[in-house]
């Protein structure tokens, strides 16, 4: 907020002029359209807008994290504690990123996933553990989040999550888990391509961020190539204590009450 509060009208206008220019934009048109008529309309709408100098290349690199970071946040709107754990991981569309996406499926996709079986079914610690890889450009995050079930503790949830992470590193990744990840990738891709909006979003994302809209057709092949050894390798490499940040959100006691709701 400090940066936003310090921005002047001139700063905002300069930002808009630099980045919201046709030479820095990608348009995807999906559907049953007349190509010639559509292109004419695009040129009519965007052609008169002058191009601007190319925006500067942003440095998205980050120094490696050398020690665990941890915080506890009191939330007046929270009804139950929540455990959030994130690890720094490589950028999207790198070979390690493909393996990290499969790792996410192994840990938390569906009732057969490892986090569900451990935290929900066997220990009843959380109703909804989820693992995910964020979709940002540049260095990314692999996250695990779990709401704490009533009567359970955040410490127990955190311990159970770490146990499953260590098990992924050492116990075999079963063939059916890899096949499940491949099937999920195929289903997600096919389902997304049936939606004109999703198809357009994917095309513009790959074109703008990776200069190659054809990447939309390569996701399934990339996931299919991931092996069990790849999954264990990325887990050992990135899911380490010194590379993680842990945030515990706890319900904030109402004003005027005594004691600690934690």
For residues 254 and 79, what is the distance between their CA atoms, to the nearest angstrom?
11
Half-sphere exposure of 58 (CA within 13 A, CB side): 8
Q: Sheet containing 244-251: give its strands across.
A: 69-75, 244-251, 82-89, 140-147, 130-133
pLDDT the model gives residue 262: 44
pLDDT the model gives residue 153: 97
Per residue in 170-190, pLDDT tens? Answer: 999 999 999 999 999 999 999
DSSP, residue by residue, 182-230: HHHHHHHHHHHHTSHHHHHHHHHHHHHHHS-GGGGGTHHHHHHT--HHH
For residues 239 and 118, what is the distance between their CA atoms, to the nearest angstrom?
18
pLDDT the model gives residue 168: 97
pLDDT the model gives residue 261: 45
Distances (CA, A) of 6 to 11, 23, 258: 9, 28, 40
As a dihedral over the C-alpha atoms of residue 83, residue 259, residue 150, residue 240, rounded to 10 degrees, the angle is 20
pLDDT the model gives residue 259: 53
Per residue in 94-120, pLDDT tens? Answer: 889 999 999 999 999 999 999 999 999
pLDDT the model gives residue 258: 59
For residues 175 and 165, what is the distance between their CA atoms, to the nearest angstrom?
18
How is residue 34 written in tokens? 């007349």
Low-confidence residues of the chain, pLDDT below 50? 260-262
DSSP, residue by residue, 64-81: PP-S-EEEEEEETT-SS-
């Amino acid at each position: 907020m400090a940066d936003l509060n310090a921005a002047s009208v001139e700063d905002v206008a300069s930002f808009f002029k630099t980045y919201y220019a046709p030479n820095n934009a990608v348009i995807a048109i999906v559907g049953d359209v007349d190509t010639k008529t559509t292109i004419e309309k695009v040129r009519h709408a965007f052609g008169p807008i002058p191009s601007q100098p190319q925006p500067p290349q942003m440095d998205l690199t980050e120094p490696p994290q050398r020690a665990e970071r941890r915080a506890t946040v009191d939330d007046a709107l929270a009804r139950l504690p929540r455990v959030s754990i994130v690890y720094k991981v490589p950028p999207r569309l790198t070979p390690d990123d493909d393996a990290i996406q499969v790792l996410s499926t192994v840990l938390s996709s569906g009732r057969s996933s490892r986090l569900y079986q451990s935290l929900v079914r066997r220990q009843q610690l959380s109703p909804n553990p989820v693992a995910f890889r964020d979709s940002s450009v540049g260095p990314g995050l692999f996250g695990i989040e779990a709401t704490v079930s009533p009567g359970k503790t955040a410490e127990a949830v955190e311990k159970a999550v770490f146990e499953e992470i260590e098990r992924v590193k050492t116990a075999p990744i079963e063939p059916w888990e890899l096949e499940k990840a491949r099937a999920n990738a195929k289903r997600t891709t096919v389902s997304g391509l049936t939606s004109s909006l999703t198809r357009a979003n994917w095309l513009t994302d790959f074109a703008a961020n990776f200069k190659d809209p054809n990447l939309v057709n390569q996701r399934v092949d990339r996931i299919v190539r991931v092996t069990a050894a790849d999954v264990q390798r990325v887990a050992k490499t990135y899911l380490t204590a010194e590379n993680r940040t842990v945030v515990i959100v706890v319900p904030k006691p109402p004003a005027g009450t005594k004691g600690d709701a934690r």
